[in-house]
Amino acid sequence: MSVDAKTRRDRISERVRTDFEVGYAELAAEFDVSEMTIRRDVEALEALGVVRRVVGGVIALTGKRTEPSFATRVADAAEQKRHIADAVADLIGPEETLILDSGSTALAVAQSLRGRGLGLTVVTPSVLAAVELVDEPDTKVVLAGGELRPGELSLIGPATEDTLTQYNCDTFVMGVAGIDVERGISDYHQAESRVKRVASSRADRVIVAADTSKLGRVTFVSIAALTDIDVIVTDGPVDHPALVAARNAGVEVICVAGHEDPASDPEAARA
């Protein structure tokens, strides 16, 4: 039985809040309408700030439920992540010792570091990041041990944490799922969050790399307070409440091209 657009959109909104991530084709079949109709519904809901479009479907903007698939995260906001990754790589100096997180944004940072000739020592729980950098001249890659997480190809567990405790590093580049005014930094997965906490404790500087969808979001596992972070690199607007709170907590906030034009207002872009 067909329903009107408002009812359909209300049900789509509820479905996304429940499942966190739903595909266009699945919604079209559920409501017996075309994918184009579903896309229009999702665009309307996105304009209201209820959901966010990703490749092939839609995700919730808030919630503490399931982590989107790695493939979805790699495809989502890919250009923005590349800009963020380039800005993060610009912060890394020659011969630094670097802990590089797992996840789609950290992988983009690994890709941006290629060809820069920095002579880094990189410790990482990410098999994908390690493969990206293993052939980089004068770069030493240390792959943390532990249990290999399917899909993510990240290493987790006590062995991973023990590996990280052996090293004292200059910088930890961390990917996260949420940055919130009150709750600080959060992520979806408990074991990966424990790895992030250990990595943070082993580095002199913690850089959080996060696209704008992470701002104002609180996910399942708390990692750190804003005061525990040194730098946030994002494509979000400089006046986003989460970024204002971060600056007030003493965090350096770097906003790359996206919502602001750094060339036209350098002070606003790097606050």
Per-residue pLDDT tens for 154-180?
A: 999 999 999 999 999 999 999 999 999
Q: Specify the pLDDT at position 267.
A: 42
What the block records as the tokens of 166 is 């052996």
pLDDT digits (tens, 9 = 90+) for 71-107: 555 545 578 889 999 999 999 999 999 999 998 899 9
DSSP state letter for 228: G
* Closest to 146 (Cα-Cα) out of 132, 133, 129, 127: 127
> Contact, 262 vs 269, CB < 8 A?
yes
The structure's pTM equals 0.72
Answer positive or negative: Cα dihedral of 51, 270, 73, 181: negative
> Which of 33-42, 115-124, 186-195 is the most confident on average?
115-124
For the chain, which residues make up each domain, given as ranges? 5-61, 74-269
Question: From residue 230, how far is each of 163, 227, 244, 261 by CA, in Å?
Answer: 23, 8, 14, 23
Q: What is the pLDDT of residue 247?
A: 97
Which architecture does CATH list for 74-269? 3-Layer(aba) Sandwich (3.40)
Res. 120 pLDDT band, cuts 50 70 90: very high
Q: Name the residue among 131, 24, 7 with its Cα closest to residue 72.
A: 24
Q: Do residues 173 and 209 lie in contact, with contact meaning Cβ atoms separated by under 8 Å?
A: yes
Alpha-carbon span 54 to 77, nearest angstrom: 8
User: Sign of dihedral through CA atoms 202, 74, 121, 170?
Assistant: negative
5-61 CATH fold: Arc Repressor Mutant, subunit A (1.10.10)
